[in-house]
């Protein structure tokens, strides 16, 4: 997807409305920067505000400036007949075009955009046009979401590619590249190729295709998605020099505890303005009513909502933090106050707009508590705290607060697929393996088995989907820490089987699953075609791994839109997967994952304990960043000549 504009399909009914937010032209208040009594910067650092009366004077001056601006705007508004209140929810003041031009649809098959970047165009500047996209129907939202999915897939693939290129240069055991540095480089490369989303418009309100609760691992991720335009600053705003009336307008904020005076209460946030900090993040001087601070005050005056993204400490295999989109907030009040360090700071009261999905940050904290003390936050509904009976590395919860069904308890739990005994056990006498004592690297035999590229990075993340992955086996000399030993280590994330009104039994994770993360094996009793034919004659329902579809993710790792010399790797043909699984008596947690044609889980065939290409293990990986408590789904495929209906455990 080379397009960076907002995809709209004018043929849909109702069509999304793109409404320009051009504030009424008036005198600029860009120069109304708040001036503190002490204008010597050095004196400000050494002389913090310590007297409350002085702080009161600051507040009085600020209120005078703000009230003057409001009065001036109120007088000007009386002379603009084309100004109307657009949204009863926010009260945003905007002129509305009678017949806005329809936007081109980037999903059109006639889009002539090239699939390979042959040169580096000049980075696309951010637009000065403020718009809100409304009336997005289900089909348009699906298209927006698909555009987001593809953009994130390119970005994640590029970030991991850069990490692995650095690792190759440093060699096995060498210094690892900084993840945030490679994330920034990946973002810059995508910007140069004009692959950042929403660069041609400044969207006020919700970003189509980005949902409340979506998780990101780096600030630059937010820039790529168009959710927040600055990789450093906490307030994203349209500057006064670009605004139609010279007024800055805030569109999004990041709440990450970077200022000591922040007070985050969930639905209500006391947000501290920006500026005045030294290099160590300490408040060292007074803040000024300019830039993002003035933009927040102006957005409050106009009733323009802001997007809130929370940054939280969360140890994971990608980064030490996560950024969660928590929806839209109103700025309902602003004032000047004395901060904890004694310097003047601007404060803004943000209140969450009702009617939105639950905040992702709340879900994240809830899931974290479930892993350590589940009964403290959910005292009812648990049937079993480990249906695997210790067979998995971590317990698998069973939860049902809907009815009395306890069906998962009636099956024997299998941690791995059971193949016919003695047929596929890898024999040390005739098996070939690598001799990489420190771990597999360049030139390794196992790398050659995988078409010259090991499928995982050093965190065990799937870099690129392949027809078949050969992991290191018992004949290999590499240690357990080898990066080519991933799925054989078993379950690492906490999963929960739960009862759902929509899907019967389902599965969700209590951990954040990043794109490419290994989830678990799909386990049952493997049957040959002959055995399957006998059982189906008796009416038994079987699962067929060959039917599982991951077609939507075949472009995983395709960097042709970013790297001009990128060549899509080719892989040798493998025999068709020719076995079925009986899960009628023995199964694992994966058998409760629901079917979807829009899945968030992909299937990858893997060999590590035998050499039969026709009987690989069925491994499941996260196809995208999956927040905690989100139901997992995979595409079980379509019917074939084996059976007249699709077999799903549910």
Number of H helices, E strands in the chain: 10, 27
Q: Residue 483 above 50 pLDDT?
A: yes
Given a contact cutoff of 8 angstroms between Cβ atoms, the answer to whether 239 and 229 are in contact is no
| Alpha-carbon span 367 to 507, nearest angstrom | 14
Would you say the C-alpha torsion 528, 529, 532, 538 has a positive or negative sign? Answer: negative
| Alpha-carbon span 460 to 319, nearest angstrom | 14
| Alpha-carbon span 498 to 550, nearest angstrom | 24
Considering only residues 130 and 582, tell me which one the structure prediction assigns the higher pLDDT. Answer: 582
Average pLDDT over residues 270-280: 86
The predicted-structure confidence for 194-211, as pLDDT tens digits, reads as follows: 999 887 778 889 999 999
Given a contact cutoff of 8 angstroms between Cβ atoms, the answer to whether 309 and 253 are in contact is yes
Burial 143-154 (b: 16+ CB within 10 A, else e): bbebbbbbbbbb
The predicted-structure confidence for 462-479, as pLDDT tens digits, reads as follows: 988 889 999 998 889 899
β pairing state of 396-399 and 382-384: antiparallel
Given a contact cutoff of 8 angstroms between Cβ atoms, the answer to whether 116 and 192 are in contact is no
Q: Given this model, what pLDDT does residue 132 score?
A: 82
Q: Where are the domains of the chain?
A: 17-109+116-357, 381-424+487-557+564-634
pTM, full prediction: 0.78
Of 90-104, 277-291, 295-309, 366-380, the range with the lowest mean pLDDT is: 90-104
Q: Which fold has domain 381-424+487-557+564-634?
A: Beta-clip-like (2.170.270)
Q: Is 67 left (phi over 0), alpha (psi -120 to 50) or beta?
A: alpha
Read off the pLDDT band of 425 (50, 70, 90). low
Q: Given this model, what pLDDT does residue 612 score?
A: 82
- 17-109+116-357 and 381-424+487-557+564-634 agree in CATH topology: no
Q: Say if domain 17-109+116-357 classifies as CATH 2.30.280.10.
A: yes
Average pLDDT over residues 48-73: 44
Average pLDDT over residues 227-231: 88
Read off the pLDDT band of 567 (50, 70, 90). confident
Q: Residue 459 above 60 pLDDT?
A: yes
The predicted-structure confidence for 309-357, as pLDDT tens digits, reads as follows: 999 988 888 888 899 999 999 999 999 988 888 888 899 999 999 999 9
The predicted-structure confidence for 581-609, as pLDDT tens digits, reads as follows: 999 889 999 999 999 888 999 999 999 98
Helix (H, G, I), strand (E, B) or coil at 237: strand
Q: Residue 100 above 90 pLDDT?
A: no
Given a contact cutoff of 8 angstroms between Cβ atoms, the answer to whether 84 and 22 are in contact is no
Q: Of all residues in the chain, what percent carry a pLDDT higher than 70?
A: 75
| Alpha-carbon span 58 to 40, nearest angstrom | 16
User: What residues pair up with 313 in beta bridges, in sequence order?
Assistant: 321
Q: Residue 298 above 50 pLDDT?
A: yes
Of 42-51, 99-108, 432-441, 515-524, the range with the lowest mean pLDDT is: 42-51
Q: Is 15 left (phi over 0), alpha (psi -120 to 50) or beta?
A: beta
| Alpha-carbon span 472 to 608, nearest angstrom | 6
Peptide bond connecting 363 to the previous residue in cis, omega within 30 degrees of 0: no
| Alpha-carbon span 226 to 325, nearest angstrom | 12
| Alpha-carbon span 259 to 359, nearest angstrom | 22
Q: What is the DSSP letter of 326?
A: E
Helix (H, G, I), strand (E, B) or coil at 579: coil
């Amino acid at each position: 997807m080379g397009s960076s504009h907002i995809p709209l399909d004018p043929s849909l009914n109702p069509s999304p409305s793109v409404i320009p937010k051009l504030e009424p032209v008036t005198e600029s208040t860009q120069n109304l920067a708040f001036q503190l009594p002490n204008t010597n910067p050095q004196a400000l650092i050494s002389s913090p505000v310590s007297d409350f009366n002085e702080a009161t004077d600051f507040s009085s001056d600020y209120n005078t400036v703000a009230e003057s601006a409001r009065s001036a705007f109120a007088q000007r508004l009386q002379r603009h007949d084309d100004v109307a209140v657009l949204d009863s929810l926010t009260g945003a003041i905007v002129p509305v075009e009678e017949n806005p031009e329809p936007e081109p649809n980037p999903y059109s098959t006639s889009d002539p955009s090239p699939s390979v970047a042959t040169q580096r165009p000049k980075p696309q500047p951010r637009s000065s046009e403020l718009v809100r996209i409304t009336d997005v129907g289900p089909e348009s939202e699906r298209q927006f979401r698909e555009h987001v999915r593809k953009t994130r897939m390119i970005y994640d693939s590029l970030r991991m590619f850069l990490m692995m290129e650095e690792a190759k240069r440093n060699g096995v055991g060498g210094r690892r590249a900084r993840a945030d540095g490679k994330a920034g480089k990946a973002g810059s490369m995508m910007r140069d190729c004009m692959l950042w989303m929403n660069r041609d418009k400044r969207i006020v309100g919700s970003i189509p295709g980005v949902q409340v609760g979506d998780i990101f691992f780096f600030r630059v991720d937010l820039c790529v998605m168009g959710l927040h335009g600055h990789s450093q600053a906490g307030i994203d705003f349209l500057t006064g020099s670009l605004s139609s009336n010279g007024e800055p307008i805030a569109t999004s904020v990041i709440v990450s505890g970077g200022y000591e005076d922040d007070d985050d209460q969930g639905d209500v946030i006391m947000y501290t303005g920006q500026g005045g900090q030294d290099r160590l993040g300490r408040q060292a001087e007074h803040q000024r009513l300019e830039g993002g601070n003035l933009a927040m005050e102006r957005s409050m005056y106009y009733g323009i909502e802001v997007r809130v993204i929370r940054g939280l400490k969360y140890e994971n295999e990608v980064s030490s933090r996560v950024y969660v989109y928590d929806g839209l907030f109103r700025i309902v009040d602003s004032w000047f106050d004395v901060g904890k360090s004694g310097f003047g700071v601007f404060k803004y009261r943000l209140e969450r707009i009702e009617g939105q999905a639950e905040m992702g940050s709340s879900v994240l904290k809830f899931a974290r508590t479930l892993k350590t003390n589940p009964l403290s936050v959910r005292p009812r509904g648990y049937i079993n705290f480990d249906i695997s009976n210790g067979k998995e590395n971590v317990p698998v919860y069973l939860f049902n607060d809907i009815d009395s069904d306890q069906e998962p308890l009636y099956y024997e739990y299998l941690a791995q697929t059971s193949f016919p005994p003695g047929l596929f056990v890898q024999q040390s006498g005739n098996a070939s393996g690598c001799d990489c004592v420190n771990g597999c690297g360049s030139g390794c035999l196992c790398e050659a088995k995988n078409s010259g590229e090991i499928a995982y990075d050093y965190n065990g993340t799937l870099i690129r989907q392949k027809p078949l992955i050969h992991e290191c086996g018992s004949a290999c000399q590499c240690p357990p820490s080898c990066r080519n030993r991933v799925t054989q280590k078993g379950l690492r994330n906490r999963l929960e089987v739960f009862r759902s009104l929509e899907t019967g039994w389902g599965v969700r994770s209590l951990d954040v699953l990043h794109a490419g993360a290994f989830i678990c094996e799909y386990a049952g009793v493997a049957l040959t075609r002959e055995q399957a034919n006998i059982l189906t004659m008796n009416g038994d329902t079987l699962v067929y791994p060959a039917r599982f579809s991951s077609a939507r993710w075949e472009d995983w790792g395709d960097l042709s839109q970013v790297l001009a010399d990128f060549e899509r790797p080719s892989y040798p043909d493998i025999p068709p997967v020719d076995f079925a699984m009986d899960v009628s008596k023995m199964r694992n947690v994966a058998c409760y994952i629901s079917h979807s044609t829009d899945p968030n889980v992909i299937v990858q065939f893997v060999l590590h304990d035998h050499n039969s290409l026709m009987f690989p293990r069925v491994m499941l990986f996260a196809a995208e960043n999956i927040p905690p408590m989100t139901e997992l789904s995979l595409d079980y495929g379509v019917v074939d000549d084996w059976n007249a209906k699709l077999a799903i455990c549910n």
